[in-house]
Amino acid sequence: MSLNDEIARRRTFAIISHPDAGKTTLTEKLLLFGGAIHIAGAVKSNKIKKTATSDWMEIEKQRGISVATSVMGFEYNNIKINILDTPGHQDFAEDTFRTLTAVDSVIIVVDIAKGVETQTRKLMEVCRMRNTPVIIFVNKLDREGQNPFDLLDELEAELQIAVRPLSWPINQGQRFKGVYNIFEEKLDLFTPNKQMVTESIAFNDIAKPELEDYIGKENAAQLREDMELINGVYNPFDKNEYLSGKLAPVFFGSALNNFGVKELLDCFIQIAPSPRPIKAEERVVQPEETQFSGFIFKIHANMDPNHRSCIAFVKICSGKFERNVNYKHIRHNKLLKFSSATAFMAQKKETVDEAFAGDIIGLPDSSSTFKIGDTLTAGEALHFKGIPSFSPEMFKYIENADPMKFKQLEKGINQLMDEGVAQLFVNQFNGRKIIGTVGQLQFEVIQYRLEHEYNAICRWEPISLYKACWIESDDKVQLENFKKRKQQFMAVDKSGRDVFLADSNYVLQMAQSDFPKIKFHFTSEF
Ligand code: G4P
């Protein structure tokens, strides 16, 4: 197969949802279709329950297990599908944001009863920033939930994206009969069964009286009425609108019952994008270019202190990766070759000889060669953009609790930050180090890992901060004035950029109105 054909048949995407909407269940059913697993219940993957914070070791254990399922590749109808798993626990949201930089499209799972939830909203924001094409799967139709029209309105308003149903539920809960597959003009009738693949009946004209034989008189009348409304309100599905991230097709089903999943998958492989061009600082890189390039979007550390080892996850942006060929680590300006890169086929890792644009490979990294955002190429100096850090939600001072272990602590903090475990800001006024996270769990993870991997002991001290924002301005005088006025609250991030530490929303608003020429950013990428 030619390089172009290999790339064109790849679909790399992530399934995202608020915890409990059904992401794990849907992933598992997709794997069943791909023949990648044979029984339901095989994927427990990143299913991290809302555990008490003291249970974070358990969570890390699960995270460890989930390395193999971080990326799940399988073949379906000659399409190579790569699903990137994302942690369910919101304290690891930053991981999810970064994973979204490595996908070409996204499926969002929404619970019919709960509608759009906080985590969904946040994740959608990241998709919108990157114009990532999005398909929505409304799950749990076997339960009572909202009226589907109301839900469509909610999706549109809350996720700020136009929607277009491509399947439509026939009743719900106990009375759920199935869905009308608008995309393929088929009637899919529901039989509750966790293993079975659904049977479809071609049905291109729902005006036909036979519809009543299948779903009963009342349901048939309702479906006809609903379809009339859909066709009146929504424009016909426009694939280009979807590909540009402006329109989300919506499917309905029940992942647990394996219902509506095949319809979703069959449509997905037809409309979802193959690997897309990626912006580097220097130029736009096309996936079909013959020269290899890729970037590290995730580093997964093994928590076992006896053999500290990491896997760096690389998204291949262009060309073909080959085993034992020299590639340039751009930040270190060094040639490296890899004999044991791994590919992820369903639940096992295997050594790869070659992989193509769109694929994800894992590079073993025991000596912290890589950090998030690093670029590897066949030689050209490229720097891929688009691995944002978000303003953290929680902050603490980190202090050395053992004066003899100062160096170990420094090294540990630096390496953990390179891995993207949390964000480090150094206060320019007093030189103190501040760690910013999205959740309490990350502080515990850092403390534990510093102790067990670096033999360093840290102590946390409280700091009351509302937000950290990156600042910039074309007006150098105003910028300098601001920094002088706020000198106690000025810090630098890992890359030496100016960060303002606002201790309240009020202070931030005052700063914004007093210094109109300064831009305050809430993500590190602007
Ligand atoms: P998540 O990864 O998004 O967190 O969700 P997950 O798939 O783990 O699903 C959350 C719960 O919702 C699970 O129940 C799962 O069985 C259930 N679920 C998923 N899809 C459907 C569906 O279509 N209909 C119904 N009725 N339930 C669904 P649980 O009791 O929390 O876990 P488990 O013991 O079943 O594993």
pLDDT of residue 345: 63
Over residues 196-221, mean pLDDT = 83
pLDDT of residue 435: 97
Please name the fold of domain 278-377.
Rossmann fold (3.40.50)
Q: Is 108 in the pocket of ligand 1 (CB under 6 A)?
A: no
* Confidence (pTM): 0.86
> 344 or 371: whose pLDDT is higher?
371
Q: Would the pLDDT of 97 be above 60?
A: yes
Domain 3-271 coded CATH 3.40.50.1370: no
| Reduced 3-state DSSP string for 77-136 | CCEEEEEECCCCCHHHHHHHHHHHHHCCEEEEEEECCCECCHHHHHHHHHHHHCCCCEEE
Q: Is 400 in the pocket of ligand 1 (CB under 6 A)?
A: no
Q: How far apart are the first and last CA of the chain?
A: 40
CA angle 319, 325, 326 (to 5 degrees): 95
Q: Do domains 3-271 and 278-377 have the same CATH topology?
A: yes
Tokens of 268: 């997905």
> 391 or 158: whose pLDDT is higher?
158
CA 79 to ligand 1 center in whole angstroms: 28
Q: Is 22 in the pocket of ligand 1 (CB under 6 A)?
A: yes
pLDDT, one tens digit per residue, over 47-60 is 444 444 445 455 55
Q: Is 117 in the pocket of ligand 1 (CB under 6 A)?
A: no
CA 410 to ligand 1 center in whole angstroms: 42
What one-letter code names the amino acid at 224?
R
> 158 or 350: whose pLDDT is higher?
158
pLDDT of residue 378: 96
Contact 20, 49 (CB under 8 A): no
Residues 6+ apart with CB under 8 A from 317: 275, 278, 285, 287, 293, 294, 295, 357, 384
For residue 205, the 8-state DSSP code is -
Task: Compute how many other C-beta atoms are within 10 angstroms of the C-beta atom of residue 66.
Answer: 19
Tokens of 231: 């066709």
pLDDT of residue 365: 86
Taking the C-alpha atoms of residue 468 and residue 31, their distance in angstroms, rounded to an integer, is 41
The lowest-confidence range among 41-45, 107-111, 127-131, 481-485 is: 41-45
Give me the residue spans of the domains in the chain. 3-271, 278-377, 394-521
CA 166 to ligand 1 center in whole angstroms: 23
Q: State the chain's mean pLDDT as an integer.
A: 87
Over residues 505-523, mean pLDDT = 94
Contact 163, 137 (CB under 8 A): no
Contact 29, 261 (CB under 8 A): yes
Class of domain 394-521: alpha beta
pLDDT, one tens digit per residue, over 449-500 is 899 888 999 999 999 999 999 999 999 999 999 999 999 999 999 889 999 9
Beta strands in 428-496 (DSSP E): 433-437, 458-462, 467-472, 490-492
Q: Would the pLDDT of 36 be above 70?
A: no
Cα separation values, 299 from 49, 311, 387, Å: 22, 6, 13
